Structure 1
Amino acid sequence: MATTTIQVSRETRDHLATLAVERGLTLGQLVQQLAERVPTRDQIAERLRADRDHARALLGVDVSDEEFDQAPDVLGNIYKIAAEKVRAARGEAA
């Protein structure tokens, strides 16, 4: 594996070194673990897309991204939206 050098303040370096020692890791291993735990915006967006696709498949109802975004209680509102769409498809009153 190729390596590189990053510049941080001495305080940050010392803090990271202490964390590494406490975990029985090298500084490089610690930084790698920390980087792997924090997803990028693209990774977050991909997870969100995959989660929404999975929810749509489980529900069997096409919930739009806008409907997902409007849902503060995501799971509760997904069920509500799905139920409304099923009732509408069946011609039932809400």
Structure 2
Amino acid sequence: MAKKSWIARERKRRRLVAKYAEKRRRLKEEGNWEALQKLPRNASPVRLRNRCALTGRARGYLRRFGVSRIVFREMALSGKIPGVRKASW
């Protein structure tokens, strides 16, 4: 489980990115790099980190399911993810 502060920080970053998305796009089209630099650092989408929706784990994140590999395995084995089952050959 990730620290609550890391999860909260990431949530805050996502809100900032959404808030400034239109303004960033407009400034980039105009080529106004000075104004773009004055925006908050965390308003840049590059600074976002994908995290597991359940545990907040940043590494081993599976985009398609939105969870980490560990949570994915637990959910798949318990049958909570439709269409996914353990491979055997």
TM-score range, shorter chain: under 0.3
Rg (Cα) greater in structure: 1
Compare the two structures and name the one with the higher helix fraction.
1
Bigger RCO of structures 1 and 2 (CA < 8 A, at least 6 apart): 2
TM-score when normalising by structure 2 = 0.27
TM-score by length of 1: 0.26
